[in-house]
Chains A and B, each alone.
Chain A
Amino acid sequence: MNDLAIETHALHKHYGDIRAVDGLEMHVPRGAVYGFLGRNGAGKTTTIRVLTGLASASSGDMRVLGLDPRTDSVEILQRTGLVIDKMLIPSMTGNDLVRFNRGFFPRWSDSHAQRYAEVLELDMKRKFKKLSTGNRTKLCLLLALSQGAELIMLDEPTSGLDPVVTDQLLRVMVEDFANEGRTLFLSSHHLSEVERIAEWVGIIDHGKLLLEGRLEDMRANFRRVRVVGDMPPLAEWPSIVSTNTGEGTTEFVLRSDADAFTAQIVSQGATVLDVTPLNLSEIFLEVVGKGKTHVSVEVLA
């Protein structure tokens, strides 16, 4: 069995001239909590649609749970819980939706559904169209989590939710799902939430995966280096993510090899003011090009 839950190679999805997904190379390990990060319109939702067979790929290869979504979408959907548009059947109550969903999934668990309804404080007798945005999202998650899936794909699961509900959801997802060795793939641009639960992170922008790796490795390797003095030519240094020149100082963000880099520039006469680690939010901003000078970042690991 392949040890990847999701794998894509040179995946493209074009809408006319728009390249929503542009040569995506992604590797999601089985059993991981994977945060799929990107700005609005970066291609996150389109990627999920293509991976689940809701949209067709323009070209490229992909595997979800070892299966090809182009030919095996029914089997993939049987083993995957998906929350994407957060729009269910408006005239049905939560209980109706449970009844409706149950018939599609052989591993459906009524006891899980009941428990999630209690934990998330959901009124299961209320029609979907009468639920608030937060409760709609909760109900979508309840259905996805109760179907006994090996893989859960959630698109912006916490958008529109207040902090208390967000906290409830994250707890449920990690405690009841990820800890059981199943794969949790969630797209988001709420970095602090992803940072709380994700082990792996992929950053997508303009349809391309700019960075992928263990969050732990990213935190350990990404460094901001502030330097004063004459700067040697550094354009060739492979791990520079961005360069920002200010008044007498130059700031580098490196994705790895910060020690070798500082040794190099010190040996060439520059003075290093400080070397600081980056949190996920800072890494994200640098990688998607918010630094002054952006250099393409390769995939980690």
Chain B
Amino acid sequence: MYLWKYWRESRITFAVGVALVGLLLWAVLKIHMGAFGPGQPDDPSQLYLLIATPLTLPLGFLALRYGSFGVGSDLGRGSGSFLFSRPRSRAFFVWNDWSFGMAQLLLIVVAANLVLRLAVYRIAADSGPILLNGGPVSMFSIFLLHCAAGLVLAGLIFGLTYFSSVLARGHGAMIAIGVLVAYSIAKSVVKHYWVDINLPDVSLIEFSRSRFGIGFADHLGLEIALRAAVALAFPVAAQMLLQQRDVE
């Protein structure tokens, strides 16, 4: 029954998200198919990267929206006492919010990458495996990588926003945007003064670059696992915060 409430709150975002990602995919494919020309793939791996990168923006936006639903919004609008006087533990509410939000984001990420995969396949059907760092990698591996990277990105932003919403009783999206902007600035400053130091990127670009041999990060699995752990730390922190705090 609680999931029904979450679905009621998030269904418009879900529909908008699907439409937004679909529209963006269509627009980007239109542009790049024109640039590369059907049947004349310049480099399918580059094509995948070029098309996947713009998806970061709507995905980030959706993750911000999803993080604003659930317990944090109830605390913000004054219905927290009603919600938490339902006979369930506070952990129940947090993990239901988190699971259902992540499930919807997963659907969007996988659907978007499936469309992307099919489009790239149509453009570069006979190009075969891609050579990465001297070895062949199937397009399916790249599809999985992009799904994982997209999900981790969405999970990080979703978790951060969710935790911020609980912490500040609503207004989580504004705090999360502030944190993300501050981190981007810090990353640029560090890069400017200490060229050898690269703070991890939250977006999927870095994963793609590393897999394509353009950038760095040889330990892709570890990189994803670390980000996933950080993403998971946010709902854990939200739960702990709620268990410590009085509901006003």
A residues adjacent to B (C-beta < 8 A): 49, 52, 54-56, 74-75, 77-78, 82, 84-85, 87-92, 96, 99-105, 140
Q: Please, which residues of chain B bring their CB within 8 A of the CB of A101?
A: 86
- Closest B residue by C-beta to A90: B77
- Closest A residue by C-beta to B247: A54
- Closest B residue by C-beta to A87: B78
Does the CB pair A84–B81 fall under 8 Å? yes
**B131-172, CB under 8 A of A: which get 1 and which 0?**
000000000000000000000000000000000000000000
Does the CB pair B87–A78 fall under 8 Å? yes
Say whether B5 faces chain A, with CB atoms less than 8 Å apart. yes
Say whether B246 faces chain A, with CB atoms less than 8 Å apart. yes
Q: How far is the CB of A48 from chain B (nearest CB, A)?
A: 10
Does the CB pair A99–B81 fall under 8 Å? no
B residues adjacent to A (C-beta < 8 A): 1-2, 4-5, 8-9, 74, 77-79, 81-89, 246-247
Contact of B1 among A55, A74, A82, A99 (CB under 8 A): A99
Q: Please, which residues of chain A bring their CB within 8 A of the CB of B87?
A: 74-75, 77-78, 104-105
Contact of A89 among B79, B84, B85 (CB under 8 A): B79
Q: How far is the CB of B106 from chain A (nearest CB, A)?
A: 25
The 7 closest A-B pairs by CB, nearest first: A103-B1, A55-B246, A78-B87, A77-B87, A87-B78, A85-B81, A54-B247
For the complex, what is the distance from the CA of A92 to the CA of B74, rounded to whole Å?
13
Q: Please, which residues of chain B bring their CB within 8 A of the CB of A140?
A: 82
Contact of A56 among B4, B79, B86, B246 (CB under 8 A): B246
Contact of A54 among B77, B78, B79, B81 (CB under 8 A): B81
| Pairs A–B under 8 Å by Cβ, sample size 23 | A49-B247, A54-B85, A56-B246, A74-B88, A74-B89, A75-B87, A77-B85, A77-B87, A84-B82, A84-B85, A85-B78, A85-B79, A85-B81, A87-B78, A87-B81, A89-B5, A90-B77, A91-B8, A92-B8, A99-B4, A100-B1, A103-B2, A105-B87
Q: Please, which residues of chain A bring their CB within 8 A of the CB of B9?
A: 91
Question: Across the A-B interface, how many residue pairs have beta carbons closer than 8 Å?
Answer: 63
Known: A77-B87, A100-B2. 13 other contacts (CB 8 A): A49-B247, A54-B81, A54-B85, A77-B85, A87-B81, A88-B82, A89-B74, A92-B5, A96-B8, A100-B4, A100-B5, A103-B1, A103-B2
Does the CB pair A85–B1 fall under 8 Å? no
Does the CB pair A104–B86 fall under 8 Å? yes
Q: Interface on chain A toward B: helix, strand, loop, or mixed SS?
A: loop
Q: Please, which residues of chain B bring their CB within 8 A of the CB of A74?
A: 87-89
For the complex, what is the distance from the CA of A55 to the CA of B79, rounded to whole Å?
15
- Closest B residue by C-beta to A143: B82
For the complex, what is the distance from the CA of A75 to the CA of B87, rounded to whole Å?
7
Q: Please, which residues of chain A bring their CB within 8 A of the CB of B82?
A: 84-85, 87-89, 140
Q: How far is the CB of B170 from chain A (nearest CB, A)?
A: 13
For the complex, what is the distance from the CA of A74 to the CA of B84, rounded to whole Å?
10
Q: Please, which residues of chain A bring their CB within 8 A of the CB of B247?
A: 49, 54-55
Q: Please, which residues of chain A bring their CB within 8 A of the CB of B74?
A: 89
For the complex, what is the distance from the CA of A42 to the CA of B147, rounded to whole Å?
56
For the complex, what is the distance from the CA of A99 to the CA of B247, rounded to whole Å?
24
- Closest B residue by C-beta to A76: B87
Q: How far is the CB of B133 from chain A (nearest CB, A)?
A: 52
Contact of B86 among A77, A85, A91, A92 (CB under 8 A): A77
Does the CB pair B5–A82 fall under 8 Å? no
- Closest B residue by C-beta to A84: B81
With A87-B77, A87-B78, A90-B79 as contacts: A54 and B1 at CB distance below 8 Å = no
Q: Please, which residues of chain B bring their CB within 8 A of the CB of A104?
A: 1, 86-88
